[in-house]
Chains A and B, each alone.
Chain A
Amino acid sequence: RKEVEQDPGPFNVPEGATVAFNCTYSNSASQSFFWYRQDCRKEPKLLMSVYSSGNEDGRFTAQLNRASQYISLLIRDSKLSDSATYLCVVSPRSGGSYIPTFGRGTSLIVHP
């Protein structure tokens, strides 16, 4: 099992749709979880940190399920500008490690 797994997509949705991505991780000792957004061949940028209690930022909601070892990202009322690749990040990889693990990303295409 890969350490961090994401469905690569693409998820092709119309404007205004609600879309959700999941990301599963294998290391139960992971402490920190993030969602990054990456536009085509540009640098990843932090979208949200994912807290145990879940968190919401406008149209974006992130949740953590430690029991099932996955994090999720929900995007409501999708905009054309939401088209991007969404990377989940889990840190650390294993106890005592200082290496974060990136998923390979989920591609989202929002069309008119």
Chain B
Amino acid sequence: EAQVTQNPRYLITVTGKKLTVTCSQNMNHEYMSWYRQDPGLGLRQIYYSMNVEVTDKGDVPEGYKVSRKEKRNFPLILESPSPNQTSLYFCASSPGQVTYEQYFGPGTRLTVT
């Protein structure tokens, strides 16, 4: 089944404790991205990647890192999480660049206390 998977789905952590949210797609898509969704603000892109070893900042990259060592994986790293990073995070992939539809993972609900 073609899909985008994320882990963990739910995470409660404390300020400053490094964490990684994994994202994997099995559709051989080139484009992958991370979004956060907050009430009243909609989906905002954090980082995106157009291919292996190619990543770039989205709208809200501060406090996040990403890597794209393999085509299928695109982990999101929070080196020192803060409470303002409490949010719902979605990973997405697309067969092409930005003009194609995106397929979203199920989301990761992160709470930073």
Q: Chain A: residues with CB nearer than 8 A to chain B?
A: 31-32, 34, 41-46, 49, 87, 89, 91-92, 97-100, 102-105
Q: Given A43-B104, A43-B105, check contact A32 B98 (CB 8 Å).
A: yes
Q: Are A103 and B104 in contact (CB under 8 A)?
A: no
Question: By DSSP majority rule, is chain A's interface helix, strand, loop, or mixed?
Answer: loop
Number of residues of chain B lying within 8 A (CB) of chain A: 27
For A32, list chain B residues within 8 Å (CB).
Answer: 98-100
Please report which residues of chain B, range 17-61, place their CB below 8 angstroms from some CB of chain A when the two chains form the complex.
31, 35, 40-45, 48, 50, 56, 58-59
Report the separation of the CA atoms of residues A46 and B88 in the bound assembly, to the nearest whole angstrom.
19
For A103, list chain B residues within 8 Å (CB).
Answer: 42
Q: Given A43-B107, A44-B90, A104-B42, check contact A98 B48 (CB 8 Å).
A: yes
For B101, list chain A residues within 8 Å (CB).
Answer: 34, 46, 49
Considering the complex, give the chain B residue whose CB is closest to the CB of A93: B98
In the complex, what's the smallest C-beta–C-beta distance from B48 to chain A, in angstroms? Answer: 6
Q: Are A99 and B99 in contact (CB under 8 A)?
A: no
Report the separation of the CA atoms of residues A92 and B104 in the bound assembly, to the nearest whole angstrom.
18
For B103, list chain A residues within 8 Å (CB).
Answer: 46
Q: Are A92 and B99 in contact (CB under 8 A)?
A: yes
Considering the complex, give the chain A residue whose CB is closest to the CB of B41: A104
Report the separation of the CA atoms of residues A45 and B107 in the bound assembly, to the nearest whole angstrom.
12
Considering the complex, give the chain A residue whose CB is closest to the CB of B100: A32
For A91, list chain B residues within 8 Å (CB).
Answer: 98-99
For B104, list chain A residues within 8 Å (CB).
Answer: 43-45
